[in-house]
Structure 1
């Protein structure tokens, strides 16, 4: 079980998670009782649900804690916005290592079916008027999600631009102060509105938005494909294929978990690459 948990929650991710998880009271005045399930085992179970798309009741017993315990901890952490804070911590690590490219950012949205009940659902005009939700995301030039949001499927994409740009947290930089404003923003025709262009210019953000009736959105494909790839990365989190959660904060939590996994994957790959280069350099130095 230990190897399974460590594979789902690597040591580096666990260290970052401990920085944002709220402290818990484990002292029982009356004494006795069962031992509290470990946070790392619960986190591994939550990531298993997010990546496989299984229900809470289908959790295998290999993790240790029972599914009601895992769901209860997930609800508590979602209410405390642990996933958003963890996403920001991972972004800080990427920014400090110079892995974020602010020169060109892209914005888009993706619709999810489901959501027959609960807030932030609406009739999807692209899915025969069925109820669903929409995920809005803004990525850097590499496709790493910087800002996320959810809405009903009937909400127009343009209405998500301002909240997403405002939602970019102040992220550490390799040199200089924290940054939260891209140099340029790319978008398709759904964002072609004068008031949005003025709003971006007022904040010093250059925009490249496909103009309605003038040019094709495909001309921006060489810069916008990164956000479409990020949407496919989010779909790798199978829990997001449909909206199963009645509560909007739980659905947003799974979106945040998917973003954390995407960013942490980039962080891990860069660390492994540096380690390989360092080992190669040492071996070359010993070679006559």
Structure 2
């Protein structure tokens, strides 16, 4: 029997977070709403395979590709994936799987088919349209926040937004985790203008300096964020941006981060 795309345990966490369906009129109720789990299965299938929406197999029982697209749009607008990410991070902390000794930042550029919000000329791809995934992880590579920008945005401009995007991590008694102790990054984040506000907030920065020879030693601990970016791009829909609407691509990014957290959580109990 083939492994299900959406297992029962993960669905049990997602289902309470979904907005309730709109009430149906008694006289002309219209068609019965499609099953949420079936639609989410179709969304995950698109995320993992990279297929076009109109090629979604009807045999999967998840409705049409456009039905899945609309539901993904609505759930993203309702903040479902942000809340799911918070729930999973809290569960990871409760299982002692969050290493708060440092956080690590990095980014990766991808090609964008067509134009749209949060795209720009990619300096690493002959100025073709592209977008950039900015990621911050804890010390083991668990994703804490992800941001989408145009490919022409400098990495350092997203240093503060990434730190600010970390949601409070509960899971244990006491104050939730929110402010990291140390931020690590490569030379792309080396600018004193962006270091000073972090230092003023009591956050230490370990960022390689421009113009100095390689061998800072940060690679021994900073590699985890590069591995997580590789995990993100194992979801084929994230290798190339096909969505003209930025919030649809951002929804896929957040779902992928949630799945990575879920896999880490399941492995912690094996």
- Give the TM interval when normalised to the shorter protein: over 0.9
- TM-score (structure 1 length as normaliser): 0.89
Partner residue, 2:137: 139
How much does 1:28 deviate? 2.7
Asked if 1:62 is matched to 2:59, the reply is yes
Question: Which residue of 4, 8, 12 corresponds with 2:9?
Answer: 12
Which residue matches 1:277?
Answer: none
| TM-score of the aligned structures, taking structure 2 as reference length | 0.94
How far is 1:217 from its partner?
A: 6.3
Higher percent of residues as helix: 1
Answer yes or no: is 1:105 the counterpart of 2:108: no
Deviations 1:66-111 (A, max 9, x none): 2221111111112222222222221121122221111021100000
Deviating beyond 6 angstroms after TM superposition, the runs of 4 or more aligned structure 1 residues are none
| Among 28, 33, 37, the residue aligned to 2:34 | 37
1:149-228 correspondence runs (5 A): 149-216=147-214, 219-228=217-226
Aligned partner of 1:235 among 221, 233, 236: 233
| Unaligned stretches of 5+ residues in structure 2 | none
Cα contact 2:105–2:136 (8 A) shared by 1: yes
Q: CA RMSD in A?
A: 1.6
Stretch of structure 1 that moved more, 21-30 or 241-250: 21-30
Name the structure 1 match of 2:114.
Answer: 116
* Counterpart secondary structure, 1:260: helix
Residues 109 and 157 in structure 1, CA contact (< 8 A), matched pair in contact too: yes
Asked if 1 retains the 8 angstrom alpha-carbon contact of 2:103 and 2:138, the reply is yes
Displacement of 1:192: 0.8
Question: 2:90 and 2:131 mapped to 1: Cα distance?
Answer: 29
Structure 1: runs of 5 or more not aligned: 274-288
Moved more, 194-203 or 31-40: 31-40
- Rg comparison, structure with higher value: 1
